[in-house]
Every structure is written in structure tokens, then in C-alpha cells.
């Protein structure tokens, strides 16, 4: 999965920038260290975001596998990526069975 690759890349970049910022502080280049520190924060957030995406993708795959085997799994929380933004409206690729099946099939 590309999420894991991006996660590892962001984590490696975070580590490298953190080391570079530490070296810059040690040598007295404080402005450069602050810039590297901002880069550390950005890459740290990117690694966390990719971790969440990977976890969600695995959860959705498990849910779909269980559904294909004939089980009736509970809907995911949130039901899909549009779950929070849709404010309860019907939307595509929803795992909530209370929504109509017609809307799950529409593009």
C-alpha cells in the first residue's frame, strides 16, 4: 500500500530534519534550526495522517471482506470519508445499512 510507503518516508524525513535541527542549534544557526523544526512538524503531521489513512483502509478492507462472506458487520464510525461532512445526508460508498441501497450504487 502506498500509505505505508508515504508513512515511512515522512517518518524518515522527520528524523533527518530533527537531527539537522539539533546540529544547527549546536553550531549556533538558530534561524535555520527553526526552519528545520517547522519541517519536522509538517512531516510529523504527514506521517500521522498516513497512519490514519492506512488504518482506515485496513478497516474498510476487513469490513468489505466480512460483508462478502455473508456477515452483517456494524457500520464503520464514521461510516465513510464523507460521513462527518454529509451531516446525515445520503452519500456514496457508505457502510451504514440504514441508508438506501440505491444511493450506494449511484456514482
Asked whether the predicted pLDDT for residue 91 surpasses 70, the reply is no
Domains contained in the chain, number: 2
42 and 9 in one domain? yes
74: pLDDT confidence band, cut at 50, 70 and 90? confident
Asked whether the predicted pLDDT for residue 57 surpasses 60, the reply is yes
Torsion angle in degrees (nearest 10) through CA of 34, 40, 42, 46 = 180
Q: In 3-state terms, the chain is what percent helix, strand and coil (to 5)?
A: 65, 0, 35
Domain assignment of residue 43, given as a range: 1-73
79 and 41 in one domain? no
CA triplet 72, 78, 80: central angle to 5 degrees? 80
Rounded Cα distance, 53 and 38, in Å: 23
SS (H, E, C) 36-78: HHHHHHHHHHHHHHHHHHHHHHHHHHHHHHHHHCCCCCCCCCC
81 and 58 in one domain? no
pLDDT in tens, 15-53: 999 999 999 999 999 999 999 999 999 999 999 999 988
Question: What size, in residues, is the chain?
Answer: 107
57 and 46 in one domain? yes
Asked whether the predicted pLDDT for residue 88 surpasses 70, the reply is no
99: pLDDT confidence band, cut at 50, 70 and 90? low
82 and 69 in one domain? no
Amino acid at each position: 500500500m502506498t500509505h505505508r510507503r508515504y508513512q515511512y518516508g515522512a517518518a524518515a524525513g522527520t528524523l533527518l530534519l530533527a537531527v539537522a535541527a539539533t546540529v544547527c542549534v549546536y553550531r549556533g544557526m538558530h534561524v535555520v534550526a527553526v526552519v528545520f523544526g517547522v519541517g519536522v512538524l509538517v512531516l510529523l503531521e504527514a506521517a500521522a495522517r498516513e497512519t490514519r489513512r492506512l488504518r482506515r483502509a485496513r478497516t474498510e478492507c476487513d469490513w468489505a471482506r466480512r460483508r462478502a462472506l455473508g456477515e452483517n458487520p456494524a457500520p464503520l464510525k464514521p461510516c465513510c470519508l464523507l460521513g462527518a461532512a454529509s451531516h446525515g445526508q445520503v452519500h456514496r460508498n457508505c457502510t451504514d445499512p440504514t441508508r438506501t441501497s440505491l444511493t450506494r450504487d449511484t456514482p
